[in-house]
Amino acid sequence: MSERAEGNLEPALIQRLHRALTESGDELFTLMQDGSPEVLRAALKNPALGEEHLRALLKRRDLTEDLLKAIHQHKAVASSHRLKVALAYNPMTPGPIVQSLLGQLFLFELITLCYLPGVTPDQKLAAERIILQRLPTTDLGNKVTLARRGTSTLVGELLKEGEPLLMEPCLANPRLKEISILQFLNGPKGTAETISIIARHPRWKTRPNLKMAILKNRKTPPVWFTLFLPPLRRVDLHELLASQRLSPGQKKLVEDEVRRRDR
């Protein structure tokens, strides 16, 4: 670029900087799309700059870390929950700032953050940790929604609670892992009702490991032995007989199946 061309740019930049400091209303919204970080930083000093202007600015995905730090320090952010959310959701916001904002977000805002493109593993882990800390005081209705939308970590923890009303939404969550169900079946919270919910669920009822875990649970109703034992391999039947976890009635059902096959 020639010196003359460069000189022609300077007055234009000066004019934009002046506008950034003095404009208001719709003109200020237009300036939020300016490509110059200097112009945007100048706009942060404009007394007419309000929450809506900053929210429009935070929708951009090309902001520098320095500019985002300056936005975080703006007085409007301290009193605006929506600005804190917008700042936390911007993928270019520095990690330490996001971490400082997480504790101020609502439950489902944290869930949304977990799935945002660009969220780091550390930020996701921190959001999950805050949600887990809030679970004891979260009402059942929100837990049901959380069971449907939660990450694998969150839905696994909800399953462990053993609440019958949470079972179906947890089991239907595509992020639920089989290991979480095995941990539940091997834990103390299972009941005849919740075990039966797992045993009849179309997604999980055919899993061999889950079938064995169901059959090894003392609280499993007899009907599931009637349905699950006939297709089992003989080696699996002997594994069940060797288990110390079966009730006497359950063990008799397994022995009856072994005798039936022997005949």
- Please give the structure tokens belonging to residue 145: 């929604």
- Dump pLDDT digits (tens) for 178-201: 999 999 999 999 999 999 999 999
- The answer, yes or no, to whether residue 6 has pLDDT greater than 60, is no
For 86-133, write each residue's pLDDT tens digit: 999 999 999 999 999 999 999 999 999 999 998 999 999 999 999 999
Residue 221 — very low, low, confident or very high, per pLDDT cuts 50/70/90? very high
pLDDT over 70 (residue 8) = no
Read off the pTM: 0.86
| pLDDT value, residue 207 | 97
pLDDT tens digits, one per residue of 55-66: 999 999 999 999
Please provide the average confidence, as pLDDT, over all residues in the chain.
94
Confidence of residue 10 (pLDDT cuts 50, 70, 90): confident
pLDDT in tens, 133-156: 999 999 999 999 999 999 999 999
